[in-house]
Structure 1
């Protein structure tokens, strides 16, 4: 019997402890909010500066990214307010990043010839300049970010070729000559297959706040914070939800504050008069940073075979409905393993995607990362027997459109695969919305989205006679429409197996 390889080494550990608490609940800043909707907020309380994006329903107001700058009251003070434009994906969007001595940094996303292009720019005394970030690529219509108080770091939320989900968080460091390095992913310990957006880096350059729609939140987006553990910018403490004083059943994003200031600011869609409102809350944050200490660390390089103490990582493929084991295949690149009892041993966590499939079931792809725990991990496959209805959780669309978000094709490729493997299967694609808004427009939108999905599947060589489609609007909810948390379950694309 072999055991895992153990390496002992000395590393520098920085012990950082943060305590985040609030005095009361959030309150709206009425002087800033309009029915247009506010989003992507950044602040500089010491200079009484605030900037955010207003959503204009697809109507460009002007060619200038900053279409409004004015003085507005916040509390007893008068602040300078900079307002940016968002055209809801039809032309592009702009969003502020932060105020520095160089000017106001902001994101700009444009749409041209079927592609989105993301940039970073800086506005100083009316002069706009490009910020050169090598190889910067964003495939999403949305780009948000922040810049550190000392101007040495930017954290951007964008969708690149190596994102784990839709938008991931990336670090951009300033080099000694003043130029910017390329954007690097903050790692899959922090980024998930869901969206991580609107980052804010505290003045210690270690405490990071961000919004995400990962499972476990109270609404569509919740605010979290995490602590950077070392200088790699890829090791983070377990993200902590900011809790019900901030997060609601709506969407909370764009948290920001300044050391010593009384108030923290953020965006919430809960009970807002538009897509989002500017909120503020009394805030306390205490950070204690220890000196560097040498710590003896144990690293498991790889598990080479099953051990007596159960430390091997195993994956069991099961039927999603019955829980029974399935004879299945595990495919990694051009390598294939057969598991007659549905059980596979993972030799190394290499952050590569691996596919599991079983005849008569929709395949599933997972990532071999540290979310897999020693012992038995389950992968549940859904049957494609006649009458089965399967929700495509990762087929996503840009808001209010039938345009699929890049990455949706990954799950649709699995549908194509199961249709190729089971040539007698025919399916009915179903598009659903929640019940908010105009019912007729919801029905039209759901039908348009079904057509987009059907067109993609047919483009991959599947006969159009095997794929039908229908939009249902908000007529077939699977959950209550009373809260955002349950409404989002009703916004879905699924397929029903008509014949097998």
Structure 2
């Protein structure tokens, strides 16, 4: 069943409530309107025979004989087409039977005959018109209702706000040109719930299988995960993930991590489950998915948890739940990662309600972008075009903003949900019933600029032994050089040494790697101003074994222009050097300064020497013995790149750390 993955459960709950209220209204008609006191002005002189037939219709409906009740009411109207109550009663029965055209006909006829005695009819008509996408008419009828009704129900006020927004949105549409992802992804079956890795070359989605390999209908439709990879020729033919992730049960509503090595998903009514539906996860090891594990409490409860979305750094997991303590029926919640096990598995602890986006209604299908602060989600309560609309909210540091509707025609009067956005912020993916290969298909479109998240780049690399080329799996950290805080960390795949880390724009980052037996390693990513989104950082990181002659570049040591004064952003890197020196007290090291060829040789030689001395002075102040430190300046005599380009000159301006020999006194 798709029910628990596509939020239909929450919508059903809402509609059952609405139907109950409509049914209650209908029964009040029958209970009150045929007393003399309850009859409207236009009904005072009604034929007693018609009154009896109307009462008989009431009894038939109470007995569950709705069709007979319809026939009786239609007979009444053939005899007196101005019998308003019969029109209202028929409208209500047709609403119950989900026949909206007949419902609208009789609502309009009843209101045309008597618009004063039953002003609530305008509210019901407006509700129907709003659902059909006839927003201007809905606004008109809601305003009529407010003029006539002494009671201004909150539901009606809320509907008016939504209808006015929808009318505005239709007149101010946003650019939207969806493109089907094609037959390698989409089939005659239903494909939905797309998810992408950071490189946007791995697509994982849910497919609902309704027939077997021979074309015969399955007794129970099967939801499984499929995966496709993008290359220069396009998306490959999607293949099932297979066991142990896909099972004879249903799996759906998944998200894949930025690295593509973690998959979070929803499964229901399993033996190890906490409630009706729980969130599970699996990790890819040595190229294969491991057996899925229940994410356990406090993420999973006796309630309904589904639709996970993990931040690029893995620190937070957003999901939908109907657990106790929320603001509405279905809320969006966030769990914080508290630790990572030695085997690399995430452990999530504290769970909080994302209050700024939640309402008394239903919020669902959260997607947190790789920038870590732009949240896309669906809601049936915030002003929209009907059903579930898609919204965006941004976390500016002091909480999430008031949600913004993505606009028309991204949103329609149908249920819209399940939107994801790639790391560039430009490309969005979603599932839709619009014309395609059959059922729901997955589409792509260019997201309007005003709705985009912050730009994000990423660093994808491979870590290996410089001498043996064997892959390594040390902890890789991204440091925010502004405040010396760990922004993100991960361990490369043990089989191939590959890793991927996302880098939101606007910050100055350093990459640090430390592992026993090897020199530390650093990289620098300055995203404070601008960068080319189409050119992420691709790294081949060769770690040098700890032995005489091994050298590493201190890429996060910075000086003012033509100066030997250290910038504060250098301190995280230099503290890393201090830690290494203290862990390896037997080594004497050389700190060397290098420049590009701008300026005279003498000036460059002196500048490089003074910069090396500045680093040595910092280390001495941190307790490293001067006898273990040698400062040297080489000027522009040892370039590592051409000085004919700005990039080459930047690479040549560097500080290096070299192991010279072991200190005899510390052996």
Per the normalisation by structure 2, the TM-score is 0.34
Higher relative contact order (CA 8 A, sep 6+): 1
Question: Which structure's residues are more often strand, by fraction?
Answer: 1
Question: Which structure's residues are more often helix, by fraction?
Answer: 2
Per the normalisation by structure 1, the TM-score is 0.45
